[in-house]
Every structure is written in C-alpha cells, then in structure tokens.
C-alpha cells in the first residue's frame, strides 16, 4: 500500500480502534540500551556465532560489517558464502552414483541398527529359552535327598562384589585356596548377571568356560578355572602369584563391564562436550530474538517466553493486562491447526505481533508480501492513540493518533513490505524509496494484528546494527502493550492428538513401519505355528491299557471267565505275598491279610480267596467267576491303594 492511501486510512479510521500506544518505550535511549546489553551480557552471535550459519542468519550478513566488534559473525558469513561454491555439484552419471551410494549408506545404517538390535535381543531370547528348557527339565524334588558331596552353591548365591571382598579378606588371612575359589565364584556370578553364562549346581567349571558367551572374559575365566582346579583337585599349592593373577582376572571380569561402560560414558560425555561446543548457546544466533527481549526489558517492558503452544492459547477475550504475543514466523513456523487457532485467538481479543515473511502468516489475516528493493526504512513511534487510550474492546470511537515528532530510521539487509486485503491498517514504517509500508496494524474481530513484513529489526544482528534499535523500539510502540510473550520455535506446532501422531511427528514412522513388518514376519515364522491347535497328548501307557482291554475282550469272546479269574488270582497272589512278606504277624495267610487290609469280614475274604485259588487249580466253570473276580479285584485294589 502506498503511503498516501495508508496515511489516509491511518488517520481516518484505523487508528481510532487501534490499541493504546506505550508511553514507556523510548526510542531515544534504545541505542544506549542495546550497547549496555551487549556489554553487560553475553551475546556471542557477534564474536562466536553458531556455525554453520542458518539460512536466516546468512540473510543478515549485510549487518555484520556494520556492527562494531562483529568479526566472528563476519567470518562465519564469509565461510557460509564460500561453502556452497566449494561443494562440487554432481551431475549426470555421478548424480546417479551418488544416489545409489546414498541408498547403500542408508541400507548399511539400517543393517547396523538391525545387527545391534539382534545383538541385544538374541542373548535375551536365548537366555529365556534356556531358562524355560532348564525349568522343564529340572529334576523332581526327591523325597530322600542324598547329601551333596560338598556344599555347592553358597558362593554363587552372593553378590560378586561381596565375594570379591570376602576373597580379599581370605587372601589377607593367608587362606589362599578359599580365596581363589571365591574369585572364581565372583567371576561366575558377574558373568551370570550379564547373561554370558547360566549358573547351575550340576555344571562343571569347564562347562562354564565353554558356555561363556563373553569372548573377552572367556580367556580370563579359563585361566581362573585352570588355577582353581589345579589347587582344588590337583593339590597344588595356592601361591601368592596364582592368587594375585586370579584376583586380577576376577576383578577384570567383575568390573570389566562397568569399567567399559564408564569409559564409554566418558567417551560419550567427551563427545557430548565436543558437541556442546557446537551446540546452540543463548544469543549465539544472529537471527535470534534474545537481544530484542533484553532491549524491551531495559525499556521497561515485561518480556517472557510464551508459556504455552500457540495452538492452545486461551480464548479469553480482550484483556489489557494480557501480553502481546510476538511470533517470528521465520523461526516459529505455524502449521495449519496452529494458524487457525491463532486467528481465532486474535479475533477473540488477542494481540499479536507477527514478523517475517507475510506469505507465512495465517491466510485469514489477508496479508501478502509486496515487492520493494529499499533497504532504508522510516519508523514512526506512536505516542498516543487519542481519547480511547486504554480501551481495548475495539468498539471505541475513532480518534487521532499522536506520533512522535522525530522519525527513526533503520537499515535493513533486505527490503520488505506487506499489504492487507482489508483496508483497516495503521502504518508504522515506510521504506524511504518506494513508500511501501513494512509494519501495519489491523483489527481482526476483537483483537489486533501488528504485522511486520520482515523480522530483521527483531533479530540480534538487526538490532545490533547502530541506529536500528531506536527504530525497533519505535516499531514496538505500536504493539500497544508493555508486556510481551515471545513464541519459541516449537510453539508453532500443535501438540499431537494421539501417541501415534506424536511418534510419527518425532520421525519414528519408518521405525514403526519396520517394527510392524518385523512383527508380521515373526508371526508368520513362529506365531502361526504356535497358534495352531495341538492334538491332545496321548494318555500315558495307552498301549498297556489297550492290551488289557483286548485281553478282557478275548476272555469274554471265548467264555474263559474261569481262566481270567485264575490269571487275576495269580497276579493278586504275587502282589499280596510281596506285601505279606513285610507283615510277619499275618503268618502267611493271604485271606486274613486281605481282610485286614481291605477292611472286609474274614469270612468273606476267605470265601473269595478260596474260590480264586480253586480257579487257579483249573477246576470246572461254575458261573460265578466274574462276580468273584470283581469282588477280589475290589479287595486287592483297596490293599494296593493303602500301600501307595
């Protein structure tokens, strides 16, 4: 918008509903505030900026030569400009090869990741499977436990550090053999904890060595075992040299992993420290807003980081005490949801300072960038908006704003201007050549948007340039607040609505996909087999039971009940006499024994037993064989049940 049009609108209507100007912001002392701030506090963007410079920082390089003592920034700008030229551009077949190598490199990275995962998962799975097999094969507890030849597992049940301590005590007392074995026990315990081997009372030392999956610890363990066996089973003296060597190896095994982890941690810490040198420090980015915050504070404003995401700003209506929210869209890009919420928040009464490329602003504000090549701009500070000062509801009557008498001038690296689709604007700055406006205020619902076509005057480098600070302060006088909340780079992204969305946003989408594919493959490989219904295991001794059934059926077909009774009587006779031999008081009387143990009258047992014995003698069938057989079977079963 040209200055004529903008000026008419500004004077005519827009400024009537615009916010109260701040009386505290004083452009005259802004330059001194910036100098004090840079002198008193550390803003390393000039001396040691973060490298490589960001695209936005590179765009500010025009200021580097104008800021006193900004050699570091200037040098970084020089390097930043050289780098793209020095990088050879790939073209033709080299570009194809580069693409292939890129794919290969990614494949190698994934293979390495997969190998690392396997290296972690395989020992765990093997240990679990081994434990399951061992549990399955564990011997039943024996009722008659036999004393172990030696006390077996006392050392293995203790903590390895405790064992080492006890070994050292024993060694100090001269009990070298016992100390030696404790060193072995400590080593085994440590390796077991690491999953390198599995302790079991029946395992020999040699089996431990052979089963040790820790290739680094295995030679040391083998040496300890050799010494222990030589002393324990070979009656060799446990000399001080042997003890010392075993102790050294045991310490290496027990503390080897922690030491390795410690070293790795130190290495990582060192790496992190090195990385920390390259990491961002407050104020090291020429495109940062730290100096702006400090400048506004020194001007008497209250500045704080935005406490919440822009997507969750509360829609509370106009509030004169609420801070104006500063959003630099160059560093805080707004996603679609956030932009929509910001528009709603402004329309509900919020006050927003938008800086940066107008194309990135919420489309609902109707802003668009305008072409301008001017680098020198003029900013007018707003002293008073008029009669409705302090009224924030946007419904006040129009009044004439009062501007400061002296205009402030700023030098920009890149010219920028903005136009709003709607005409309700107040212009804050103009470029001196084209008279395009770079800072406009417009109402939106019950709130206001103060749009600044470029964020240069907000950045560290832009503010540090002599003369620009006053223009920036004059600019912010249009914000109508003495309280500001600056949005962080992450505040422009709406919080994820679901955990899945959070993981996808964190870049874990490919990982999730791979995990899903791995699950499918595992399911197809093993899960399907496990999921198949398994046939019920056959009953134990099925063959014997079938044999008995078949024999019974044979007897029935041939009407050999007498023979069956005779056979069963023979079986019962053998079984009962086995038990009778342990009961001398029965005097070898099977019938009496049967009566006593089965709890039946003696006469009955005598009758049944006499009939059974008669059948054994091959007498003629009498027709009662099956009944006698059933009766005898019941008695014999009762005797057997008592014995078991």
Partner 1 sequence: MDAIRFQQTFERIRLQVARVVVGQEELVAGVIVAAIAKGHVLIEGAPGLGKTLVARALAAASGCAFKRIQFTPDLMPSDITGSSVYSRETGKFTFVAGPIFAQLLLADEINRAPAKTQSALLEAMQDHQVTVDGTSRALPSPFVVLATQNPVESQGTYPLPEAQLDRFLFKLTVSDPPPEVERTIVRHHADGFDPTDLSALVPATSPAEIAEMQSHARGVRVDDAIVAYIVELVRRTRDDRAIELGASPRASIALLKAAQVIAAAEGREFVTPDDVKPMVAAVLRHRVMLHPDAQLQGTSPDERIDEIVRAVPVPRLAA
- Residues in touch with partner 1 (CB under 8 A): 137-139, 142, 144, 146, 148-155, 166, 170, 178, 181-182, 184-185, 200-207, 229-230, 232-235, 540-541, 543-544
**Residue 53: closest CA among 275, 282, 287, 274:** 287
CB of residue 232 vs partner 1: minimum separation in angstroms? 7
| Beta bridge partner(s), residue 410 | 377
CB of residue 530 vs partner 1: minimum separation in angstroms? 25
CB of residue 199 vs partner 1: minimum separation in angstroms? 11
Alpha-carbon Rg for the chain in angstroms:
46
CB of residue 114 vs partner 1: minimum separation in angstroms? 30
Q: Round to whole Å and give the CA distance between 450 and 295.
A: 19
CB of residue 553 vs partner 1: minimum separation in angstroms? 20
Other beta carbons within 10 angstroms of residue 326's beta carbon come to: 27
Q: Which is nearer to partner 1, 239 or 527 (CB)?
A: 239
Q: Which is nearer to partner 1, 4 or 144 (CB)?
A: 144
Q: Which is nearer to partner 1, 142 or 534 (CB)?
A: 142
Q: Which is nearer to partner 1, 228 or 470 (CB)?
A: 228
What letter does residue 394 receive in the DSSP assignment? S
Other beta carbons within 10 angstroms of residue 589's beta carbon come to: 15
CB of residue 131 vs partner 1: minimum separation in angstroms? 14
Q: Round to whole Å and give the CA distance between 41 and 451.
A: 29
CB of residue 127 vs partner 1: minimum separation in angstroms? 18
225-228 contact pairs (CB < 8 A, 24+): 225/184, 227/180, 228/180, 228/181, 228/183, 228/184
| Beta bridge partner(s), residue 431 | 377
Q: Which is nearer to partner 1, 215 or 543 (CB)?
A: 543
Q: Which is nearer to partner 1, 38 or 205 (CB)?
A: 205
Q: Round to whole Å and give the CA distance between 308 and 118.
A: 41
**Residue 456: closest CA among 333, 270, 291, 256:** 291
CB of residue 152 vs partner 1: minimum separation in angstroms? 4
**Residue 343: closest CA among 237, 241, 444:** 444
| Backbone dihedral angles phi then psi of residue 450, each to the nearest 5 degrees | -110, 105
CB of residue 238 vs partner 1: minimum separation in angstroms? 13
**Residue 81: closest CA among 51, 109, 101:** 51
What is the SS3 assignment for 233?
A: coil
CB of residue 548 vs partner 1: minimum separation in angstroms? 12
Q: Which is nearer to partner 1, 226 or 633 (CB)?
A: 226
- Cα-Cα-Cα-Cα dihedral of 184, 190, 193, 196, to 10°? -70
Cα 193 to chain centroid, rounded: 24
Q: Round to whole Å and give the CA distance between 536 and 533.
A: 9
Q: Mark out the alpha helices in 491-560 (DSSP H runs).
A: 499-505, 509-522, 528-531, 542-557
Determine if residue 536 is left, alpha or beta; phi over 0 gives left, psi from -120 to 50 gives alpha, anything else beta.
beta
| Backbone dihedral angles phi then psi of residue 257, each to the nearest 5 degrees | -65, -45
CB of residue 233 vs partner 1: minimum separation in angstroms? 4
CB of residue 92 vs partner 1: minimum separation in angstroms? 51
Beta strand pairing status for 382-384 and 437-444?
A: unpaired
Q: Round to whole Å and give the CA distance between 127 and 133.
A: 10
Q: Which is nearer to partner 1, 19 or 155 (CB)?
A: 155
Distances (CA, A) of 257 to 192, 269, 451, 579: 13, 18, 59, 63
Q: Which is nearer to partner 1, 88 or 233 (CB)?
A: 233
Q: Residue 261: which H helix or E strand, with range? A: helix 240-278
CB of residue 644 vs partner 1: minimum separation in angstroms? 13
CB of residue 211 vs partner 1: minimum separation in angstroms? 12
What is the SS3 assignment for 618?
A: coil
| Backbone dihedral angles phi then psi of residue 532, each to the nearest 5 degrees | -65, 140
What letter does residue 451 receive in the DSSP assignment? E
CB of residue 515 vs partner 1: minimum separation in angstroms? 37
Q: b/e string for 126-136 if b means 16 or more Cβ within 10 A?
A: ebeeeeeeeee
**Residue 370: closest CA among 359, 355, 354:** 359
| Backbone dihedral angles phi then psi of residue 444, each to the nearest 5 degrees | -145, 105
What is the SS3 assignment for 458?
A: helix
CB of residue 186 vs partner 1: minimum separation in angstroms? 11
């Amino acid at each position: 918008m040209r200055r004529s049009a903008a000026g008419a609108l500004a004077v005519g209507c827009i400024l009537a509903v615009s916010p109260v100007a701040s009386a505290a912001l004083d452009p005259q002392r802004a330059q001194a505030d910036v100098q004090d701030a840079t002198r008193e506090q550390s803003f390393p963007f000039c001396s040691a900026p973060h490298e490589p410079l960001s695209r936005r920082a590179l765009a500010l390089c025009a200021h580097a030569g104008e800021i006193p003592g900004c050699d570091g920034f200037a040098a970084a700008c020089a390097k930043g400009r050289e780098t793209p030229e020095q990088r050879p551009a790939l073209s033709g077949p080299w570009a194809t090869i580069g693409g292939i190598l890129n794919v290969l490199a990614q494949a190698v990275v994934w293979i390495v990741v997969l190998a690392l995962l396997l290296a972690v998962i395989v020992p765990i799975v093997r240990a679990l499977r081994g434990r399951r097999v061992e549990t399955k094969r564990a011997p039943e507890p024996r009722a008659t436990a036999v004393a172990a030849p030696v006390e077996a597992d006392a050392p293995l049940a203790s903590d390895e550090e405790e064992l080492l301590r006890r070994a050292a005590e024993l060694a100090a007392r001269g009990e070298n053999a016992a100390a030696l074995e404790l060193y072995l026990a400590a080593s085994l315990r440590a390796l077991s904890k690491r999953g390198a081997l599995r302790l079991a009372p029946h395992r020999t030392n040699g089996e431990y060595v052979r089963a040790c999956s820790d290739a680094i610890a295995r030679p040391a363990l083998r040496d300890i075992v050799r010494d222990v066996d030589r002393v324990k089973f070979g009656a060799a003296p446990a000399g001080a040299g042997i003890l010392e060597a075993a102790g050294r190896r045991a310490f290496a095994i027990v503390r080897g992993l922690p030491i390795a982890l410690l070293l790795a941690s130190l290495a990582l810490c060192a790496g992190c420290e090195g990385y920390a040198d390259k990491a961002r420090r407050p104020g090291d980015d020429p495109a940062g807003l730290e100096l702006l915050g400090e400048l506004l504070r020194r001007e008497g404003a209250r500045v704080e980081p935005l406490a919440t995401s822009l997507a969750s700003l509360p829609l509370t209506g106009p509030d004169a005490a609420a801070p104006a929210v500063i959003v630099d869209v160059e560093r805080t890009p707004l996603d679609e949801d956030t932009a929509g919420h910001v528009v709603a928040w402004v329309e509900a009464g919020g006050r927003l300072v938008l800086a940066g490329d107008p194309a990135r602003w919420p489309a609902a504000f109707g802003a668009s960038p305008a072409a301008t090549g001017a680098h020198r701009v003029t900013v007018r500070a707003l002293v008073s908006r008029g009669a409705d000062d302090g009224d924030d509801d946007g419904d006040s009557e129009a009044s004439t704003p009062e501007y400061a008498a002296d205009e402030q001038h700023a030098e920009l690296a890149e010219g920028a201007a903005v136009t709003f689709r709607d005409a309700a604007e107040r212009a804050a700055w103009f470029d001196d050549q084209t008279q395009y406006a770079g800072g406009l205020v417009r109402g939106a619902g019950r709130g206001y948007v103060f749009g600044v076509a470029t964020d240069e005057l907000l950045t560290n480098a832009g503010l540090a340039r002599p003369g620009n600070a006053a223009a920036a302060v004059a600019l912010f006088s249009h914000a109508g607040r003495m309280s500001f909340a600056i949005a962080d780079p992450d505040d422009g992204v709406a919080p994820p609505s679901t955990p899945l969305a959070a993981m996808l946003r964190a870049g874990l989408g490919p990982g999730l996909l791979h995990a899903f594919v791995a699950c499918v493959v595992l399911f197809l490989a093993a899960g399907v087999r496990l999921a198949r219904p398994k046939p019920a295991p056959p009953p134990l001794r099925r063959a014997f039971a079938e044999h008995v059934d078949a024999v019974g059926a044979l007897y029935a077909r041939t009407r050999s009940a007498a023979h069956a009774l005779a056979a069963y009587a023979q079986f019962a006779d053998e079984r009962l006499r086995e038990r009778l031999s342990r009961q001398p008081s029965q005097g070898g009387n099977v019938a009496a024994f049967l009566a006593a143990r089965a709890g039946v009258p003696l006469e009955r047992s005598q009758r049944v037993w006499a009939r059974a014995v008669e059948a054994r003698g091959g007498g003629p069938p009498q027709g009662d064989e099956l009944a006698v057989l059933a009766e005898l079977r019941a008695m014999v079963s009762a005797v057997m049940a008592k014995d078991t």
